[in-house]
Structure 1
């Protein structure tokens, strides 16, 4: 299952290369799938603050996709994603939440934040692993790009927590 010319014994920790490439393809597919989910979550959100957060994350997700293309380029591969079953499941759950709580406007935003944070935590885990693999294989450019995205995903998770704690989860 050789995927690239970089997959050789001269690269440090070359045994991780196939896994690294597979995970890159998975997260590229996940980010592309997420674009549709973010549009739906934004249009379903009650508060303007949450709508804005989803809209800003949509723009950021487009940048993540571009950055992933640069990661692929940095390891001499064409950017090719694959369907991410985990993201498909997380977005399916978000759809169920929207359907279940669309008539409960006082709960909908809290439910949307919970669904969005599940997505963020999946992305944080994925990017965290990718940063580690890139570091171990001395893919310095890939590591730098992936670390930037990892930090942005963490910031988004923190923003969602703030919105939850300051408005969506309270009845004030």
Structure 2
């Protein structure tokens, strides 16, 4: 169990507003971490469609970070990053996968697509929860900003799903040829 003493500067939350600001701070941290990780992943892509999808999403993520900064402004708060352990873990898992498949480019790209798809689904869940909180607090401008981010996450997930399937199908055909040759 995490102890508050492990999180210096974090106070106990006593209102919906406190909880919302805390959650925005975690998502702000996550988006910044995911931006850095996408910039690394795109360098490993040889597949033009995956590379293009990631490059486009990098631009969207930069806008999402700016949208979250506007949310902080609307809340009368300075942007603050509170470590999002889920983001740290997902990025770590993606990096391990890339290291373990580094000698086989045909395995790296489905791993990147799959890892990014998992990240998108986490972000979709984050934004759904944040939107509900903002609606409860009557913050319509914040809802609009968060809705923009959510829609971009959903669109990216829709692009990644068939792309990941395509990349996996290409591996299957490579594996099948290798197995046939070894018989």
TM-score normalised by the chain length of structure 2? 0.82
Q: 1:99, 1:45 → 2: CA distance?
A: 14
Aligned residue for 1:169, secondary structure, equals: helix
Q: 2:94, 2:106 → 1: CA distance?
A: 17
Is 2:64 the partner of 1:67? no
Larger radius of gyration: 2
- Counterpart for residue 170 of structure 1: 169
Q: 2:12, 2:122 → 1: CA distance?
A: 27
- Counterpart for residue 39 of structure 1: 39
Shift of 1:107: 2.1
> 5+ unaligned residues in a row in structure 1: which ranges?
8-14
Shift of 1:47: 0.4
Shift of 1:2: 8.4
Contact 1:75 1:139 (C-alpha < 8 Å) held by counterparts = no
- Counterpart for residue 146 of structure 1: 146
Shift of 1:46: 2.8
Question: Where in structure 1 do 4 or more consecutive aligned residues deviate above 4 Å?
Answer: none
Aligned residue for 2:81, secondary structure, equals: coil
- Counterpart for residue 11 of structure 1: none
Q: 1:168, 1:45 → 2: CA distance?
A: 12
CA RMSD of aligned residues (A): 1.7
Q: 1:21, 1:146 → 2: CA distance?
A: 13
TM-score normalised by the chain length of structure 1? 0.87
